[in-house]
Amino acid sequence: GESLRLRFTYLNKVYDWFEERLEIQAIADDIT
């Protein structure tokens, strides 16, 4: 119930951060 939803929210935040990092990396690769 509650713990599962909290875990899902946590994973969602981590995934968002990870995706952001990948985008920044791609942009950095384009610049160089």
User: How many angstroms separate the CA atoms of 32 and 20, rounded?
Assistant: 19
- Which structure tokens are listed for 10? 């946590």
Q: What's the pLDDT score for residue 31?
A: 84
What pLDDT, on a 0 to 100 scale, did the predictor assign at position 23?
Answer: 94
> How many angstroms separate the CA atoms of 26 and 32, rounded?
10
Encoding tokens for residue 29?
A: 């690769």
pLDDT 10s digits, 1-32: 889 999 999 999 999 999 999 999 998 998 87
pLDDT of residue 32: 79
pLDDT confidence of residue 2: 87
Can you tell me the distance from the alpha carbon of 32 to that of 18, in angstroms, rounded to the nearest whole number?
A: 21
